[in-house]
Structure 1
Amino acid sequence: MDDEVMTVLAGVLEALWRINAEWPDKPCTLAKLSKQAQRPMSALRRQLTMLEEAGLVTLALDEGGVTGTVQFTAGGRQMAAEIFA
Structure 2
Amino acid sequence: MTRIQERGRARLKLRLPGWRVRFEVAASQSFLDVCEAYELAWMALEYWAKSDRPMSIAVVADYRELVAHLELDAQRCATGDIGAP
- Greater share of helix: 2
User: Greater Rg, structure 1 or structure 2?
Assistant: 2
Q: Which has the higher contact order (CA 8 A, sep 6+)?
A: 2
- Greater share of strand: 1
Relative to the length of structure 2, the TM-score reads: 0.33
